[in-house]
Amino acid sequence: MMRSLFSVTLLLLVVLTLSADANRRVKSHKAGGKHDKSRPASECSPTETQYGKCVPEHGDCGDGLREVTCKDRTNKIQCKIPCNWKKDISDCKYKFGPWGSCDAATNTKSRSGTLKKALFNAECQATVRVSKPCSPRAKNGRDKKLN
Protein backbone atom coordinates (compact mmCIF):
# COMPACT_ATOMS: atom_id res chain seq x y z
CA MET A 1 0.00 0.00 0.00
CA MET A 2 2.71 2.48 1.01
CA ARG A 3 4.88 1.29 -1.88
CA SER A 4 2.14 2.10 -4.42
CA LEU A 5 1.53 5.52 -2.82
CA PHE A 6 5.28 6.22 -2.99
CA SER A 7 5.34 5.10 -6.65
CA VAL A 8 2.43 7.40 -7.56
CA THR A 9 4.07 10.33 -5.75
CA LEU A 10 7.39 9.67 -7.46
CA LEU A 11 5.69 9.38 -10.86
CA LEU A 12 3.86 12.68 -10.30
CA LEU A 13 7.11 14.40 -9.33
CA VAL A 14 8.93 13.07 -12.41
CA VAL A 15 6.08 14.07 -14.77
CA LEU A 16 5.85 17.57 -13.32
CA THR A 17 9.64 18.02 -13.45
CA LEU A 18 9.91 16.78 -17.03
CA SER A 19 7.03 18.93 -18.25
CA ALA A 20 8.44 21.99 -16.47
CA ASP A 21 11.87 21.40 -18.05
CA ALA A 22 10.32 20.92 -21.51
CA ASN A 23 8.22 24.05 -21.06
CA ARG A 24 11.26 26.03 -19.94
CA ARG A 25 13.27 24.81 -22.97
CA VAL A 26 10.50 25.86 -25.36
CA LYS A 27 10.22 29.30 -23.75
CA SER A 28 14.00 29.80 -23.73
CA HIS A 29 14.21 28.77 -27.39
CA LYS A 30 11.53 31.34 -28.31
CA ALA A 31 13.24 34.04 -26.24
CA GLY A 32 16.55 33.78 -28.07
CA GLY A 33 18.18 31.29 -25.69
CA LYS A 34 17.50 33.22 -22.46
CA HIS A 35 16.21 31.13 -19.59
CA ASP A 36 12.93 32.12 -17.97
CA LYS A 37 13.96 32.65 -14.35
CA SER A 38 10.78 34.47 -13.30
CA ARG A 39 9.40 31.25 -11.76
CA PRO A 40 11.27 28.32 -10.27
CA ALA A 41 10.18 24.82 -11.36
CA SER A 42 9.05 23.89 -7.82
CA GLU A 43 6.90 26.96 -7.13
CA CYS A 44 3.72 25.04 -6.33
CA SER A 45 3.13 23.60 -2.91
CA PRO A 46 0.80 20.61 -2.54
CA THR A 47 -1.93 22.91 -1.19
CA GLU A 48 -1.71 25.14 -4.30
CA THR A 49 -1.89 22.18 -6.68
CA GLN A 50 -5.34 21.18 -7.88
CA TYR A 51 -6.07 17.73 -9.29
CA GLY A 52 -8.95 16.91 -11.60
CA LYS A 53 -10.84 13.64 -11.69
CA CYS A 54 -9.29 10.70 -13.47
CA VAL A 55 -10.96 10.39 -16.88
CA PRO A 56 -10.63 6.90 -18.41
CA GLU A 57 -9.55 6.67 -22.05
CA HIS A 58 -12.17 4.00 -22.87
CA GLY A 59 -15.37 3.11 -21.02
CA ASP A 60 -15.82 3.92 -17.35
CA CYS A 61 -12.67 2.33 -15.90
CA GLY A 62 -9.05 1.51 -16.72
CA ASP A 63 -6.12 3.72 -17.74
CA GLY A 64 -6.83 7.42 -18.16
CA LEU A 65 -5.58 10.97 -17.63
CA ARG A 66 -5.92 13.47 -14.78
CA GLU A 67 -5.39 17.24 -15.10
CA VAL A 68 -2.97 18.81 -12.62
CA THR A 69 -3.19 22.61 -12.30
CA CYS A 70 -0.93 25.02 -10.46
CA LYS A 71 -1.34 28.74 -10.94
CA ASP A 72 -1.53 29.21 -14.73
CA ARG A 73 -0.06 25.83 -15.74
CA THR A 74 -2.06 22.70 -16.48
CA ASN A 75 -0.49 19.32 -17.16
CA LYS A 76 -1.98 15.87 -17.61
CA ILE A 77 -0.74 12.83 -15.73
CA GLN A 78 -1.63 9.18 -16.14
CA CYS A 79 -4.04 7.58 -13.72
CA LYS A 80 -6.14 4.43 -13.41
CA ILE A 81 -9.70 3.77 -12.27
CA PRO A 82 -10.24 0.26 -10.88
CA CYS A 83 -12.75 -1.84 -12.84
CA ASN A 84 -14.61 -3.12 -9.77
CA TRP A 85 -16.65 -1.70 -6.90
CA LYS A 86 -13.78 0.64 -5.93
CA LYS A 87 -14.11 2.88 -9.02
CA ASP A 88 -16.44 5.31 -7.20
CA ILE A 89 -13.94 5.81 -4.37
CA SER A 90 -10.63 5.35 -6.22
CA ASP A 91 -9.04 8.61 -4.94
CA CYS A 92 -10.10 7.90 -1.35
CA LYS A 93 -8.43 5.23 0.76
CA TYR A 94 -10.54 3.48 3.40
CA LYS A 95 -10.00 0.90 6.13
CA PHE A 96 -12.71 -1.71 5.71
CA GLY A 97 -14.12 -4.17 8.21
CA PRO A 98 -14.99 -7.77 7.34
CA TRP A 99 -17.73 -8.63 4.84
CA GLY A 100 -21.13 -9.19 6.47
CA SER A 101 -23.28 -12.25 5.95
CA CYS A 102 -25.19 -12.77 2.72
CA ASP A 103 -28.61 -11.09 2.49
CA ALA A 104 -30.80 -13.75 0.85
CA ALA A 105 -33.33 -11.17 -0.42
CA THR A 106 -30.75 -9.23 -2.49
CA ASN A 107 -28.06 -11.94 -2.76
CA THR A 108 -25.44 -9.37 -1.68
CA LYS A 109 -23.11 -8.88 1.25
CA SER A 110 -21.71 -5.54 2.41
CA ARG A 111 -19.12 -3.91 4.62
CA SER A 112 -18.26 -0.42 5.89
CA GLY A 113 -15.03 1.55 5.67
CA THR A 114 -13.66 4.62 7.42
CA LEU A 115 -11.52 7.18 5.60
CA LYS A 116 -7.75 6.75 5.99
CA LYS A 117 -6.47 9.19 3.37
CA ALA A 118 -7.72 11.40 0.52
CA LEU A 119 -5.42 11.34 -2.53
CA PHE A 120 -5.12 14.18 -5.06
CA ASN A 121 -7.05 16.55 -2.74
CA ALA A 122 -10.19 14.48 -3.36
CA GLU A 123 -13.40 15.19 -1.48
CA CYS A 124 -14.12 11.95 0.37
CA GLN A 125 -16.90 10.72 2.61
CA ALA A 126 -15.88 9.95 6.19
CA THR A 127 -17.48 6.50 5.97
CA VAL A 128 -18.69 4.41 3.05
CA ARG A 129 -20.69 1.22 2.68
CA VAL A 130 -20.00 -1.08 -0.25
CA SER A 131 -21.66 -4.28 -1.36
CA LYS A 132 -21.01 -7.12 -3.76
CA PRO A 133 -22.84 -10.24 -4.89
CA CYS A 134 -22.60 -13.25 -2.63
CA SER A 135 -20.29 -15.96 -3.87
CA PRO A 136 -21.84 -19.29 -4.80
CA ARG A 137 -21.84 -22.07 -2.23
CA ALA A 138 -18.33 -22.74 -0.96
CA LYS A 139 -16.64 -25.77 -2.43
CA ASN A 140 -14.74 -28.14 -0.23
CA GLY A 141 -13.02 -31.49 -0.61
CA ARG A 142 -16.03 -33.50 0.69
CA ASP A 143 -18.25 -32.37 -2.23
CA LYS A 144 -15.97 -34.01 -4.79
CA LYS A 145 -16.66 -37.61 -5.70
CA LEU A 146 -13.72 -39.92 -6.06
CA ASN A 147 -13.81 -42.68 -8.67
Q: Is 122 a member of any domain? A: yes
Chain-centre distance for alpha carbon 26: 30
What backbone torsions phi and psi does residue 110 show, to the nearest 5 degrees?
A: -140, 170
Q: How confident is the model at residue 86 (pLDDT cuts 50, 70, 90)?
A: confident
48-66 residue pLDDT tens: 888 988 989 988 888 999 9
17-37 residue pLDDT tens: 666 665 555 444 444 444 333
Q: Is 111 a member of any domain? A: yes
90-115 residue pLDDT tens: 889 999 999 999 999 999 999 999 99
Residue 105: domain span:
88-134
3-state secondary structure of 80: strand
Q: Please give the residue that has the higher pLDDT: either 45 or 32.
A: 45
Q: Is 106 a member of any domain? A: yes
Please tell me the number of Cα atoms within 13 Å of 137 on its side-chain side: 2
Q: Is 141 a member of any domain? A: no
Would strands 108-118 and 92-96 be described as parallel, antiparallel, or unpaired?
Answer: antiparallel
- Residue 32: predicted pLDDT: 45
Q: Is 92 a member of any domain? A: yes
Torsional class of 139: left (φ above 0), alpha (ψ -120 to 50), beta (otherwise) = beta
- Residue 1: predicted pLDDT: 67
Q: Is 73 a member of any domain? A: no
Model pTM greater than 0.75?
no
Total domains present in the chain: 1
- Residue 29: predicted pLDDT: 45
What backbone torsions phi and psi does residue 29 show, to the nearest 5 degrees?
A: -65, -40
In a 10 Å sphere around its CB, with 0-12 CB exposed, 13-18 middle and 19+ buried, how is residue 94 labelled?
buried
